[in-house]
């Protein structure tokens, strides 16, 4: 059988992405073959499609997410017809990922889908949404309660930010959205943001400590933004850090940690243990408003994915981009 896939190749002229038709023999080794229904476009996929950084082997099928149905399994945990989702584990970076009609993967990488989520919904949530839930659960584990005060979400109109706002508001937190795109103010309020702040107020170099403003924060931006968020976090508050949309650096001081007992909790989705993944997916199935998920999701065909790379890298994509692979 043959299947369509986006392939990133490298030659003397550089790196190129194109849709190709491959034979099943080109599938990599693995216990489970999946008929992929959907993938999504995350920031990392933008990097891979643009031939930047993260691709570690060529040729490679990008796509850090996939959701679909098991076609064939050599592992007793999965049978043909099972609906599954896969996020990370190096897919789309060092191993073939989800921008393909078929994928062969390790059984240890797959999460069986909760009945309450359709395959389409699971894909729309994708790495960004599952990372948002990991962040929310980290705040819960740190003891941040809804009555504690304002919770800031940075990178608000992006994939992680949009889902985080919806999840936190549904749990009863008062959410403040930091965005550089005030034109999406109505969208952010509809997801549950009580108020907005201009991201420019956070993105320049700031003081080691500022007045105590945030009970907690979910940050996907890094750099000066994260340093300023930490500096304005209230005594004993917690900040989660998952992203680097502004930068990989963290140009701050230890003052928030040693003078206010602020906690900085890193969030990694790629190699998160299966127990954390199942917990996050179960919570997403129970808590994420399907109407919100619809409102943040734009759907594109596999053939339309490659031109999206510059847009997501420039921070111009809103919410989540679902790829209908079929
Ligand atoms: P998106 O591109 O969808 O969203 C990022 C948002 O960040 C933008 O929408 C924008 O929000 C804001 N932003 C963009 N550029 C800047 C800038 N220069 N300064 C300040 N804010 C900026 O990406 P995702 O939401 O999918 O991912 C966000 C980050 O999290 C990425 O760095 C991604 O790699 C990382 N990530 C990490 C994971 C992990 O496992 N640790 C998993 C998933 C994502 P606005 O327009 O509202 O200001």
CATH of the domain at 236: 3.40.50.720
Look at residue 273 in the predicted model and tell me its pLDDT.
97
Total tally of structural domains belonging to the chain = 2
CA distance readout (Å), 296 to 88, 123, 143, 160, 181: 21, 13, 29, 11, 15
pLDDT tens-digit readout, 89-138: 999 999 999 999 999 999 999 999 999 999 999 999 999 999 999 999 99
**189 and 303 belong to one structural domain:** no
Question: Are residues 22 and 92 part of one domain?
Answer: yes
Residue ending a domain, among 223, 251, 266, is: 266
Q: How buried is residue 29: exposed, middle or buried, by Cβ count under 10 Å (0-12/13-18/19+)?
A: exposed
pLDDT for position 233: 98
| 307 pLDDT tier (thresholds 50, 70, 90) | very high
128 CA: nearest ligand 1 atom: 43
Domain contains 118: no
Q: Is residue 96 located within the same domain as residue 151?
A: no
One domain for residues 131 and 262: yes
Cβ distance 58 to 10 under 8 Å?
A: yes
pLDDT score for 51: 84
For residues 150 and 256, state if they share a domain. Answer: yes
The closest residue, in CA terms, to atom 11 on ligand 1 is 155
Share of the chain above pLDDT 90, in %: 97
For position 316, which CATH number holds?
3.90.180.10
* d(C-alpha 95, C-alpha 83), whole Å: 21
* Packing angle of the helix pair 159-170, 119-141 (nearest 10 deg): 70
Nearest CA to ligand 1 atom 30: 243
Question: What pLDDT is recorded for position 154?
Answer: 98
Residues 170, 175, 176: CA angle, nearest 5 degrees: 155
Q: Are residues 163 and 106 part of one domain?
A: no
Looking at the whole model, is its pTM more than 0.95? yes
Domain of residue 30: give its range: 2-113+292-324
Residue of 243, 247, 250, 280 best suited for mutating to test ligand 1, as the one with most atoms within 8 Å of CB? 243
Query: Does 280 reside within a domain?
Result: no
Q: What are the C-alpha distances in Å from 31 to residues 39, 176, 271?
A: 20, 44, 19
The pLDDT tens digits of the residues spanning 126-143 come to 999 999 999 999 999 999
User: Same structural domain for residues 106 and 236?
Assistant: no
User: Is the pLDDT score of 52 beyond 90?
Assistant: no
Model confidence over 186-240: pLDDT tens digits?
A: 999 999 999 999 999 999 999 999 999 999 999 999 999 999 999 999 999 999 9
C-alpha 245 to ligand 1 mean position (Å): 4
Q: Please identify, by atom number, the ligand 1 atom nearest to the C-alpha of residue 161.
A: 25
Asked if 27 and 102 sit in the same domain, the reply is: yes
User: How confident is the model over 230-273, as pLDDT tens digits?
Assistant: 999 999 999 999 999 999 999 999 999 999 999 999 999 999 99
């Amino acid at each position: 059988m043959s299947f369509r896939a986006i392939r990133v190749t490298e030659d003397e002229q550089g790196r190129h992405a194109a849709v190709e038709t491959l034979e099943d023999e080109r599938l990599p080794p693995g216990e489970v073959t999946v008929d992929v229904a959907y993938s999504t476009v995350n920031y990392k996929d933008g990097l891979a499609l643009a031939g930047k950084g993260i691709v570690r082997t060529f040729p490679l099928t990008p796509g850090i997410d996939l959701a679909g149905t098991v076609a064939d399994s050599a592992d007793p945990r999965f049978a043909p017809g099972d609906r599954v989702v896969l996020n990370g584990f190096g897919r789309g970076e060092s191993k073939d990922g989800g921008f393909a009609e078929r994928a062969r993967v390790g059984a240890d990488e797959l999460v069986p889908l909760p009945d309450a989520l359709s395959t389409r919904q699971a894909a729309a949530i994708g790495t960004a949404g599952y990372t948002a839930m990991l962040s929310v659960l980290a705040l819960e584990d740190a003891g941040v309660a809804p009555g504690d005060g304002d919770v800031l979400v940075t990178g608000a109109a992006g994939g992680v930010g949009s889902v985080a706002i919806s999840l936190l508001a549904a749990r009863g937190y008062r959410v403040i959205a930091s965005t550089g795109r005030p034109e999406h103010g109505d969208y952010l309020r509809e997801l549950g943001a009580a108020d907005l702040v201009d991201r420019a107020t956070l993105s320049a170099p700031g003081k080691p400590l500022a007045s105590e403003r945030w009970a907690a924060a979910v940050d996907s931006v890094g750099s000066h933004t994260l340093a300023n968020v930490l500096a304005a976090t209230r005594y004993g508050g917690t900040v989660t850090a998952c992203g680097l949309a502004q930068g990989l650096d963290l140009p701050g001081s230890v003052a928030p940690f040693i003078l206010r007992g602020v906690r900085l909790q890193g969030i990694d989705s790629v190699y998160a243990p299966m127990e954390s993944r199942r917990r996050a997916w179960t919570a997403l199935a129970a808590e994420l408003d399907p109407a919100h998920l619809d409102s943040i999701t734009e759907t594109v065909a596999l053939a339309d994915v490659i031109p999206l790379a510059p847009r997501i890298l420039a921070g111009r994509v809103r919410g989540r981009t679902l790829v209908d692979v079929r």
